[in-house]
Amino acid sequence: MNLPADTKSVLNDIKKRSESTPRSMPPSFYKDENMLPVEVEQLFINGWVCLGRADEIPNIGDYYTIDMFDEPLIVSRTKKSQISVLSNVCRHRGSQILTGKGNSKRFTCPYHRWSYDLEGKLLAAPLVDKSEGFDRNQCKLPSFRTHEWWGWIFVNLSGKADDFESQIVGLDDYVRNYHAEEMRSIGASTEQWPLNWKCLAENFMEGYHLTPVHRDTLHPMTPTRLCEKIPAGIGYTGYKSHYSQSFKGRTQTHPDMTAEECSLSMMVWIYPGFVAAISPNSAVYMSITPTGPASLQTRWDVIAREAVFEADEAQERLEFARAFNKEDRERLLDVQRGLASRFATRGFLAPPDYEGTVWDFYHYMADRLP
Ligand code: FES
Ligand SMILES: [Fe+2]
């Protein structure tokens, strides 16, 4: 599958262009149908995709199901400190095995009651297991490479991605002291937005729109003028969203945190589709995946330190995130409409502290796409 000619030439242009003259991508980058299969295979299936949080499945046997790129998956805790991601497709005749979430010692297919252990090994296949030539070893559920990063569960579906750690060299220095692994989910949800996935990821990760779009929500806390980009790595970019002097929230910090860390939200983008705003006592994150040229799925959540739950502030945090997500959604639907125009074109990007993360992302795309 070929990329649209103008996208290809622009990706080449981006490799050569200096950081001081950044430009946005042409509309074809966000709407051409030929982009989608290339992105899905090269970036998502061959990369690392976040499925949720380890704290959503705290006990052995806890599981939840999720679909990614039409792949039904089971995310479960097999041991105290081990999480597995299995194909949720029965090895008998292809039924989906589980739905929703729950806790179980074994996963039993509702169609003919084949059952599997937590590692995906076939335990029983009624009436078939005594048949001549039956080989239960050929009936194990496929399992996928996983990596846990500060409590977030990542999966690589093709088995071909470079090691997760090699993609994020340097990033932990900015994130470590927030101890996001100690935070827990307030309430994950999955939404479909009629929008190209890149528009949402870019929007989440640039501070240029904070003041104009989030005038009454985020601006009083993290105004555009206080954004400060960090250097990008192979598989990530990010910026520090410093708090305004007058903002007095986010007090339930971790003792490891420096004074600077206590006064900013760390904005992190692990390519292709994981974005997070990690604040001293909570974090908002989204795992964004494409479902079509103009449609995306986002599994998103707010996670928080125990003290936030104890102070009865957890629901408030979730509502706050819903409010600014709504503001973003309205603007982004306008963007999607605008990109359809025959007069839409490449634009001038703001300086690195405000839109440099978007520019970093284009470089990642230029390196990864054929
Ligand atoms: S399809 Fe699952 S037991 Fe038959
Ligand atoms: Fe926003």
Task: Locate the domains of the chain by residue range.
Answer: 5-48+165-368, 53-156
Say how many residues make up the chain.
Answer: 370
pLDDT at 1: 64
Q: What is the pLDDT of residues 257-272, one digit of tens each?
A: 999 999 999 999 999 9
CA–CA gap between residue 317 and residue 328 (Å, rounded): 17
* 2 has a pLDDT exceeding 80: no
Burial class (CB within 10 angstroms; exposed 0-12, middle 13-18, buried 19+) of 95? middle
**Domain 53-156: CATH class, spelled out:** mainly beta
* 213 has a pLDDT exceeding 70: yes
Chain centroid offset of residue 177 CA:
21
Q: 222 near 210, Cβ under 8 Å? A: yes
Which residue intervals of 96-238 are DSSP H helices? 164-167, 172-175, 197-204, 210-213
For residue 155, give Cα distances in angstroms to 47, 84, 138, 144, 274.
8, 9, 23, 7, 12
Please report the atom of ligand 1 found closest to the CA of residue 114: 3
Q: Over range 227-249, report the average pLDDT.
A: 96
Residues, CB within 5 angstroms of ligand 2 (ion): 328
pLDDT at 176: 98
* 310 has a pLDDT exceeding 80: yes
Please report the atom of ligand 1 found closest to the CA of residue 112: 3
Q: What is the pLDDT of residues 130-155, one digit of tens each?
A: 899 999 999 999 999 999 999 999 99
For residue 192, give Cα distances in angstroms to 12, 105, 200, 288, 289.
32, 32, 12, 10, 10
Assign 234 a pLDDT band (cuts: 50, 70, 90): very high
CA–CA gap between residue 152 and residue 229 (Å, rounded): 23
Q: Give the CATH fold of the 5-48+165-368 domain.
A: Naphthalene 1,2-dioxygenase Alpha Subunit; Chain A, domain 1 (3.90.380)
| Spacing, Cα 272 to ligand 2 middle (Å) | 18
* 3 has a pLDDT exceeding 90: no
Residue percentage of the chain with pLDDT more than 90:
91
What pTM, to 2 d.p., does this model score? 0.96
- 92 Cβ inside 6 Å of ligand 1: yes
pLDDT at 363: 96
Q: What is the pLDDT of residues 160-202, one digit of tens each?
A: 999 999 999 999 999 999 999 999 999 999 999 999 999 999 9
pLDDT at 251: 87
- Mutation choice for ligand 1 from 87, 88, 99, 111, CB with most ligand atoms inside 8 A: 111
Q: 236 near 269, Cβ under 8 Å? A: yes
Q: What is the pLDDT of residues 9-56, one digit of tens each?
A: 888 899 898 888 999 999 999 998 999 999 999 999 999 999 999 999
